[in-house]
Amino acid sequence: MTGKLKGTSFVFICVALWALIPVVARLGQQSLDNHQFLFWSSLVSFLVLISNAAISGKLPEVSGYSAKDWGVIIILGLLGTYIYYLFLYLGYARAEGLEVLVVQYSWPVLIVALSIWILKEKLTISKAVALALGFMGVVTVLTKGEFSQIHVSNPSVIALVGAGAFCFALFSVLSKKVTKEPIVVVSLYFLVALCASFLSMLFFSSFAWPTKAEIWPILLNGILVNGYSYIFWTKALQATEASYLAPFTFLTPILSAAYLVILFDEPLVIAYIFGLIMIVSGGLINSFNSNFKKEILK
Protein backbone atom coordinates (compact mmCIF):
# COMPACT_ATOMS: atom_id res chain seq x y z
CA MET A 1 0.00 0.00 0.00
CA THR A 2 1.45 3.39 -1.03
CA GLY A 3 1.94 6.23 1.43
CA LYS A 4 -0.90 8.28 0.00
CA LEU A 5 -3.29 5.34 -0.11
CA LYS A 6 -2.45 4.45 3.50
CA GLY A 7 -2.77 8.08 4.59
CA THR A 8 -6.11 8.40 2.79
CA SER A 9 -7.41 5.25 4.49
CA PHE A 10 -6.44 6.55 7.93
CA VAL A 11 -7.89 10.03 7.35
CA PHE A 12 -11.22 8.57 6.23
CA ILE A 13 -11.35 6.60 9.48
CA CYS A 14 -10.68 9.85 11.36
CA VAL A 15 -13.42 11.71 9.48
CA ALA A 16 -15.94 8.95 10.17
CA LEU A 17 -15.06 9.04 13.89
CA TRP A 18 -14.89 12.84 14.30
CA ALA A 19 -18.29 13.20 12.63
CA LEU A 20 -19.82 11.18 15.47
CA ILE A 21 -19.28 13.96 18.06
CA PRO A 22 -22.88 15.29 17.79
CA VAL A 23 -24.24 11.73 18.08
CA VAL A 24 -22.28 10.72 21.19
CA ALA A 25 -22.85 14.14 22.77
CA ARG A 26 -26.63 13.77 22.38
CA LEU A 27 -26.85 10.12 23.44
CA GLY A 28 -24.33 10.47 26.26
CA GLN A 29 -26.11 13.38 27.94
CA GLN A 30 -29.53 11.91 28.59
CA SER A 31 -29.03 12.20 32.36
CA LEU A 32 -25.47 13.53 32.56
CA ASP A 33 -24.67 17.21 32.01
CA ASN A 34 -21.70 18.49 30.01
CA HIS A 35 -19.34 18.55 33.04
CA GLN A 36 -20.13 14.94 33.91
CA PHE A 37 -20.04 13.68 30.32
CA LEU A 38 -16.70 15.39 29.70
CA PHE A 39 -15.25 13.87 32.90
CA TRP A 40 -16.15 10.29 31.97
CA SER A 41 -15.14 10.71 28.33
CA SER A 42 -11.81 12.31 29.28
CA LEU A 43 -11.12 9.48 31.73
CA VAL A 44 -11.58 6.87 29.01
CA SER A 45 -9.57 8.89 26.45
CA PHE A 46 -6.69 9.41 28.87
CA LEU A 47 -6.51 5.70 29.76
CA VAL A 48 -6.58 4.69 26.08
CA LEU A 49 -3.94 7.19 24.97
CA ILE A 50 -1.58 6.82 27.94
CA SER A 51 -1.69 3.03 27.46
CA ASN A 52 -0.67 3.44 23.82
CA ALA A 53 2.09 5.85 24.83
CA ALA A 54 3.39 3.29 27.33
CA ILE A 55 3.18 0.39 24.85
CA SER A 56 5.02 2.41 22.20
CA GLY A 57 7.81 3.16 24.68
CA LYS A 58 7.33 6.94 24.39
CA LEU A 59 6.15 7.57 27.95
CA PRO A 60 9.59 7.86 29.64
CA GLU A 61 10.23 11.14 27.80
CA VAL A 62 7.86 12.84 30.27
CA SER A 63 10.60 12.72 32.92
CA GLY A 64 12.59 15.21 30.85
CA TYR A 65 9.82 17.82 30.63
CA SER A 66 10.66 21.21 32.13
CA ALA A 67 8.34 23.42 34.18
CA LYS A 68 7.80 25.49 31.02
CA ASP A 69 6.80 22.36 29.09
CA TRP A 70 4.23 21.47 31.73
CA GLY A 71 2.90 25.02 31.72
CA VAL A 72 2.38 24.87 27.96
CA ILE A 73 0.70 21.45 28.22
CA ILE A 74 -1.69 22.69 30.93
CA ILE A 75 -2.67 25.81 28.96
CA LEU A 76 -3.15 23.92 25.69
CA GLY A 77 -5.00 21.11 27.45
CA LEU A 78 -7.42 23.60 28.98
CA LEU A 79 -8.00 25.28 25.60
CA GLY A 80 -8.25 22.27 23.30
CA THR A 81 -9.57 19.37 25.36
CA TYR A 82 -11.44 21.05 28.21
CA ILE A 83 -13.05 24.40 27.28
CA TYR A 84 -13.71 23.43 23.66
CA TYR A 85 -15.45 20.16 24.50
CA LEU A 86 -17.20 21.51 27.61
CA PHE A 87 -18.98 24.20 25.57
CA LEU A 88 -19.46 21.93 22.56
CA TYR A 89 -21.22 19.23 24.60
CA LEU A 90 -23.37 21.92 26.22
CA GLY A 91 -24.34 23.13 22.74
CA TYR A 92 -25.42 19.72 21.48
CA ALA A 93 -27.43 19.16 24.67
CA ARG A 94 -29.33 22.46 24.65
CA ALA A 95 -29.34 24.05 21.18
CA GLU A 96 -30.21 23.16 17.59
CA GLY A 97 -27.60 20.63 16.47
CA LEU A 98 -27.02 22.13 13.02
CA GLU A 99 -26.57 25.62 14.50
CA VAL A 100 -23.96 24.22 16.87
CA LEU A 101 -22.27 22.30 14.05
CA VAL A 102 -21.76 25.37 11.87
CA VAL A 103 -20.50 27.53 14.73
CA GLN A 104 -18.27 24.65 15.87
CA TYR A 105 -16.63 24.44 12.46
CA SER A 106 -15.79 28.11 12.41
CA TRP A 107 -12.51 27.07 14.08
CA PRO A 108 -10.65 26.35 10.80
CA VAL A 109 -11.48 29.88 9.68
CA LEU A 110 -10.47 31.29 13.06
CA ILE A 111 -7.14 29.49 12.70
CA VAL A 112 -6.46 31.58 9.59
CA ALA A 113 -7.15 34.82 11.50
CA LEU A 114 -5.11 33.79 14.54
CA SER A 115 -2.20 32.60 12.37
CA ILE A 116 -2.01 36.06 10.82
CA TRP A 117 -2.10 37.69 14.26
CA ILE A 118 0.03 35.33 16.34
CA LEU A 119 2.32 33.60 13.82
CA LYS A 120 2.63 36.73 11.66
CA GLU A 121 1.61 34.86 8.52
CA LYS A 122 0.79 37.01 5.50
CA LEU A 123 -2.81 37.77 4.59
CA THR A 124 -3.13 36.26 1.12
CA ILE A 125 -6.14 36.47 -1.18
CA SER A 126 -7.09 32.85 -0.40
CA LYS A 127 -6.94 33.53 3.35
CA ALA A 128 -9.06 36.67 2.94
CA VAL A 129 -11.63 34.69 0.94
CA ALA A 130 -11.62 31.91 3.57
CA LEU A 131 -12.23 34.46 6.35
CA ALA A 132 -15.02 36.16 4.42
CA LEU A 133 -16.77 32.88 3.56
CA GLY A 134 -16.45 31.65 7.14
CA PHE A 135 -17.92 34.83 8.57
CA MET A 136 -20.76 34.83 6.02
CA GLY A 137 -21.47 31.17 6.77
CA VAL A 138 -21.89 31.78 10.50
CA VAL A 139 -24.01 34.90 9.91
CA THR A 140 -26.22 32.99 7.45
CA VAL A 141 -26.93 30.30 10.04
CA LEU A 142 -27.52 32.71 12.93
CA THR A 143 -29.96 34.77 10.84
CA LYS A 144 -31.40 31.75 8.98
CA GLY A 145 -31.01 33.81 5.82
CA GLU A 146 -33.00 36.79 7.13
CA PHE A 147 -30.09 39.18 7.54
CA SER A 148 -32.11 41.91 9.24
CA GLN A 149 -32.52 39.80 12.37
CA ILE A 150 -30.89 36.95 14.27
CA HIS A 151 -32.76 33.67 14.87
CA VAL A 152 -30.90 31.50 17.37
CA SER A 153 -32.43 28.67 19.39
CA ASN A 154 -30.31 29.45 22.46
CA PRO A 155 -28.14 32.58 22.03
CA SER A 156 -26.11 32.23 25.23
CA VAL A 157 -25.26 28.59 24.51
CA ILE A 158 -24.38 29.29 20.88
CA ALA A 159 -22.12 32.13 22.09
CA LEU A 160 -20.31 29.67 24.37
CA VAL A 161 -19.91 27.23 21.45
CA GLY A 162 -18.35 30.10 19.49
CA ALA A 163 -16.02 30.84 22.41
CA GLY A 164 -15.07 27.15 22.47
CA ALA A 165 -14.35 27.20 18.73
CA PHE A 166 -12.07 30.21 19.30
CA CYS A 167 -10.26 28.31 22.08
CA PHE A 168 -9.74 25.30 19.81
CA ALA A 169 -8.42 27.53 17.02
CA LEU A 170 -6.01 29.16 19.50
CA PHE A 171 -5.00 25.69 20.73
CA SER A 172 -4.32 24.61 17.13
CA VAL A 173 -2.18 27.65 16.34
CA LEU A 174 -0.15 27.46 19.55
CA SER A 175 0.29 23.70 19.11
CA LYS A 176 2.42 24.36 16.04
CA LYS A 177 5.23 25.34 18.42
CA VAL A 178 5.04 22.10 20.44
CA THR A 179 7.81 19.68 19.44
CA LYS A 180 7.24 16.87 21.94
CA GLU A 181 6.10 13.33 21.02
CA PRO A 182 2.45 13.73 19.84
CA ILE A 183 0.96 10.62 21.48
CA VAL A 184 2.45 11.58 24.87
CA VAL A 185 1.41 15.22 24.64
CA VAL A 186 -2.15 14.39 23.57
CA SER A 187 -2.40 11.94 26.49
CA LEU A 188 -1.40 14.72 28.85
CA TYR A 189 -3.90 17.12 27.26
CA PHE A 190 -6.65 14.68 28.18
CA LEU A 191 -5.19 14.32 31.66
CA VAL A 192 -5.61 18.10 32.00
CA ALA A 193 -9.19 17.81 30.73
CA LEU A 194 -9.83 14.97 33.18
CA CYS A 195 -8.60 16.99 36.17
CA ALA A 196 -10.34 20.21 35.07
CA SER A 197 -13.65 18.47 34.34
CA PHE A 198 -13.50 16.67 37.70
CA LEU A 199 -13.12 20.02 39.51
CA SER A 200 -15.80 21.77 37.43
CA MET A 201 -18.11 18.80 37.97
CA LEU A 202 -17.73 19.16 41.75
CA PHE A 203 -18.10 22.97 41.78
CA PHE A 204 -20.73 23.53 39.06
CA SER A 205 -22.52 20.20 39.00
CA SER A 206 -22.19 16.99 41.02
CA PHE A 207 -20.63 13.57 40.72
CA ALA A 208 -22.86 11.16 38.83
CA TRP A 209 -22.55 7.68 37.38
CA PRO A 210 -23.65 7.25 33.76
CA THR A 211 -26.76 5.19 33.06
CA LYS A 212 -26.52 1.96 31.08
CA ALA A 213 -27.71 3.81 27.99
CA GLU A 214 -24.94 6.42 28.38
CA ILE A 215 -22.08 3.99 28.90
CA TRP A 216 -21.66 3.02 25.25
CA PRO A 217 -21.64 6.64 23.94
CA ILE A 218 -19.03 7.46 26.59
CA LEU A 219 -16.91 4.46 25.59
CA LEU A 220 -17.34 5.23 21.88
CA ASN A 221 -16.39 8.86 22.47
CA GLY A 222 -13.49 8.13 24.80
CA ILE A 223 -11.98 5.16 22.97
CA LEU A 224 -12.55 6.06 19.32
CA VAL A 225 -13.80 9.62 18.73
CA ASN A 226 -11.33 11.30 21.13
CA GLY A 227 -8.95 8.37 21.58
CA TYR A 228 -7.77 6.24 18.70
CA SER A 229 -8.73 8.94 16.18
CA TYR A 230 -5.65 10.88 17.34
CA ILE A 231 -3.53 7.79 16.72
CA PHE A 232 -5.03 7.27 13.25
CA TRP A 233 -4.46 10.96 12.47
CA THR A 234 -0.81 10.68 13.54
CA LYS A 235 -0.38 7.60 11.35
CA ALA A 236 -1.99 9.45 8.42
CA LEU A 237 0.44 12.35 8.87
CA GLN A 238 3.37 9.90 8.99
CA ALA A 239 2.21 8.24 5.76
CA THR A 240 1.82 11.35 3.59
CA GLU A 241 1.79 15.17 3.55
CA ALA A 242 -0.55 17.17 5.80
CA SER A 243 -1.39 19.43 2.85
CA TYR A 244 -2.72 16.40 0.96
CA LEU A 245 -4.79 15.22 3.95
CA ALA A 246 -6.26 18.57 5.03
CA PRO A 247 -9.05 18.83 2.40
CA PHE A 248 -10.46 15.44 3.46
CA THR A 249 -11.09 16.71 6.99
CA PHE A 250 -13.74 19.10 5.68
CA LEU A 251 -15.97 16.12 4.98
CA THR A 252 -16.47 15.86 8.76
CA PRO A 253 -19.12 18.58 9.24
CA ILE A 254 -21.02 17.36 6.17
CA LEU A 255 -21.16 13.82 7.57
CA SER A 256 -22.09 15.19 11.02
CA ALA A 257 -24.95 17.15 9.48
CA ALA A 258 -26.21 13.96 7.82
CA TYR A 259 -26.09 12.14 11.16
CA LEU A 260 -28.08 14.91 12.87
CA VAL A 261 -30.78 14.98 10.20
CA ILE A 262 -31.11 11.20 9.89
CA LEU A 263 -30.78 10.15 13.54
CA PHE A 264 -32.34 13.09 15.38
CA ASP A 265 -34.76 14.55 12.82
CA GLU A 266 -33.00 17.92 12.93
CA PRO A 267 -34.85 20.56 10.85
CA LEU A 268 -32.85 21.01 7.66
CA VAL A 269 -33.19 24.76 7.08
CA ILE A 270 -31.82 25.86 3.69
CA ALA A 271 -29.75 28.55 5.45
CA TYR A 272 -27.91 25.82 7.36
CA ILE A 273 -26.89 24.16 4.11
CA PHE A 274 -25.61 27.43 2.62
CA GLY A 275 -23.81 28.32 5.84
CA LEU A 276 -22.10 24.93 5.96
CA ILE A 277 -21.13 25.15 2.28
CA MET A 278 -19.56 28.59 2.85
CA ILE A 279 -17.48 27.46 5.82
CA VAL A 280 -16.33 24.22 4.14
CA SER A 281 -15.53 26.12 0.91
CA GLY A 282 -13.48 28.67 2.83
CA GLY A 283 -11.41 25.94 4.44
CA LEU A 284 -10.96 24.09 1.16
CA ILE A 285 -9.87 27.23 -0.72
CA ASN A 286 -7.21 27.98 1.88
CA SER A 287 -6.11 24.35 2.05
CA PHE A 288 -5.87 23.79 -1.70
CA ASN A 289 -4.03 27.08 -2.15
CA SER A 290 -1.44 26.06 0.46
CA ASN A 291 -1.07 22.67 -1.21
CA PHE A 292 -0.65 24.28 -4.66
CA LYS A 293 2.07 26.62 -3.39
CA LYS A 294 4.00 23.72 -1.87
CA GLU A 295 3.85 21.82 -5.18
CA ILE A 296 5.15 24.90 -7.04
CA LEU A 297 8.05 25.29 -4.61
CA LYS A 298 9.18 21.65 -4.98
Total structural domains within the chain: 1
Q: Which residue has the higher pLDDT, 221 or 276?
A: 221
Provide mean pLDDT across the span 56-74.
Answer: 90
What is the pLDDT at residue 292? 44
* The pLDDT of residue 221 is above 90: yes
Q: Give the pLDDT band (50/70/90) at residue 84.
A: very high
The pLDDT > 90 percentage for the chain reads: 38
Q: How far apart are CA 75 and CA 71, in angstroms?
A: 6
Q: How confident is the model at residue 295 (pLDDT cuts 50, 70, 90)?
A: very low
In whole angstroms, how far apart are CA 62 and each of 35, 75, 183, 192, 237?
A: 28, 17, 11, 15, 23
For the purposes of burial, counting CB atoms within 10 Å of the CB of 1, is it exposed (0-12), middle (13-18) or buried (19 or more)? exposed
With 0.95 as the threshold, say if the pTM is over it.
no
Phi, psi angles (nearest 5°) of residue 162: -65, -40
Query: pLDDT tens digits for 162-181?
Result: 999 999 888 888 887 777 88
Model confidence at 105: pLDDT above 70: yes
Task: Give the Cα separation of 287 and 243 in Å (integer).
Answer: 7
Query: Measuring CA to CA, how many Å separate 65 from each of 1, 38, 61, 114, 184?
Result: 37, 27, 7, 27, 11
Q: What is the pLDDT of residue 296?
A: 36
**With 0-12 CB in 10 A as exposed, 13-18 as middle and 19+ as buried, what is 14?**
buried
* Contact assessment for residue 160 and residue 15, using Cβ atoms and an 8 Å cutoff: no
Q: Which domain, by its residues, includes 36? A: 3-297
pLDDT in tens, 273-290: 777 787 777 766 766 655
